[in-house]
């Protein structure tokens, strides 16, 4: 994860050296959704009452689009009207970031347009299930000659609609892997290409343990490796 933001205070109030980017805010929003779901759901609350005072959520999309479930508005004179919006339709989640608009209506309209564009022209598909064998690797000096490799969590990918069947996946593996191998140990990388563009890269992990082999197996493989 690479950050380009620079903070000069904890409040977010303007400073000439206090800045961030749309990508930074999208990264923060994704972390909130994935890592703090118990807090994320608060951002879908349209209004609440405290001390006999009712406060309304300033994210107008919550009233306009039932698929919207967050996330955060913001406004200063220097930054303009900003909105990080999140929505989910048919199991697909999208985050949009709009910054520097002239009004609350403009940030809502811009966010709605981005969300609609994303849902219309992109799709999220399951690439590999957790624990599914993606490939195998030769393990030298091991009890088992090969180990199954895969991902430990369901792996999804988002691409333009109609492009899923054009994806090609390849495995980048070290030339020599020696035992022992622990379950979950990263042994290589899965690379997914769309034409000449790399769209995803993630570790390939051992799905099971593969301990060191017997003395005979280790000796045999040691001799074989001398000629590799």
- CA–CA gap between residue 217 and residue 12 (Å, rounded): 62
Based on the fold, state whether residues 30 and 116 are members of the same structural domain. yes
**φ, ψ (nearest 5 deg) of residue 10:** -95, -5
- Whether residue 4 lies inside any domain: the answer is no
Total Cβ atoms within 10 A of residue 36: 11
Indicate the pLDDT class of residue 16, thresholds 50, 70 and 90: confident
- Whether residue 7 lies inside any domain: the answer is no
pLDDT above 60: residue 35: yes
What is the number of domains present in the chain? 2
- Whether residue 2 lies inside any domain: the answer is no
Domain edge (last residue) among 68, 90, 121: 121
Q: Quote the pLDDT of residue 150.
A: 97
- Whether residue 94 lies inside any domain: the answer is yes
Checking phi first, is residue 109 left (phi over 0); if not, alpha (psi -120 to 50) or beta?
alpha
| Domain encompassing residue 180 | 129-225
- Whether residue 204 lies inside any domain: the answer is yes
Domain edge (last residue) among 102, 121, 140: 121
Based on the fold, state whether residues 27 and 102 are members of the same structural domain. yes
Q: What is the CATH number of the domain that holds 32?
A: 3.40.710.10
Quick check: 209 and 183 in contact, CB under 8 A?
A: yes
- Whether residue 17 lies inside any domain: the answer is no
Predicted TM-score (pTM) of the model is 0.80
- Whether residue 150 lies inside any domain: the answer is yes
Based on the fold, state whether residues 33 and 105 are members of the same structural domain. yes
Indicate the pLDDT class of residue 3, thresholds 50, 70 and 90: low
Domain edge (last residue) among 98, 121, 144: 121
Q: Quote the pLDDT of residue 14.
A: 83
Indicate the pLDDT class of residue 5, thresholds 50, 70 and 90: low
- Whether residue 52 lies inside any domain: the answer is yes
pLDDT in tens, 186-216: 999 999 999 999 999 999 999 999 999 999 9
- CA–CA gap between residue 105 and residue 111 (Å, rounded): 10
**Residue-by-residue DSSP string for 17-82:** T-B--HHHHHHHHHHHHHH-HHHHGGGG--EEEETTEEEE-S-THHHH-TTEEEEEEEEETTTEEE
Pairing of strands 186-194, 146-150: unpaired
Based on the fold, state whether residues 99 and 134 are members of the same structural domain. no
Q: What is the CATH number of the domain that holds 220?
A: 2.60.410.10
Pairing of strands 53-56, 80-89: unpaired
**Chain mean pLDDT for the chain:** 93
Q: Quote the pLDDT of residue 1.
A: 45
Indicate the pLDDT class of residue 31, thresholds 50, 70 and 90: very high
Residue 212's Cβ-side half-sphere holds a number of Cα atoms within 13 Å equal to 6
């Amino acid at each position: 994860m690479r950050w380009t933001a620079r903070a000069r205070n904890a409040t977010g109030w303007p400073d000439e050296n206090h800045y961030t980017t749309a990508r930074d805010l999208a990264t923060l929003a994704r972390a909130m959704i994935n890592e703090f779901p118990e807090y994320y759901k608060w951002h879908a609350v349209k209004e609440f009452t405290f001390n006999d005072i009712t406060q309304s959520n300033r994210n107008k999309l919550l009233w306009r689009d039932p698929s919207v479930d967050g996330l955060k508005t913001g406004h200063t004179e220097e930054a303009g009207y900003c909105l990080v919006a999140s929505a989910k339709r048919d199991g697909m989640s999208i985050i949009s970031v709009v910054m520097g608009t002239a009004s609350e209506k403009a940030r809502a309209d811009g966010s709605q347009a981005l969300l609609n564009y994303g849902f219309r022209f992109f799709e999220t598909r399951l690439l590999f299930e957790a624990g599914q064998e993606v490939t195998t690797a030769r393990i030298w000096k091991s009890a088992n000659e090969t180990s199954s490799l895969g991902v430990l969590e369901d792996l999804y990918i988002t691409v333009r609609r109609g492009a899923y069947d054009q994806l090609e996946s390849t495995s980048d593996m070290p030339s020599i892997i020696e035992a022992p191998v622990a379950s979950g140990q990263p042994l290589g990388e899965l690379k997914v290409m769309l034409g000449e563009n790399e769209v995803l890269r993630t570790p390939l992990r051992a799905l099971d343990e593969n301990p060191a082999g017997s003395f005979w197996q280790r000796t045999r493989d040691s001799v074989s490796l001398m000629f590799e």
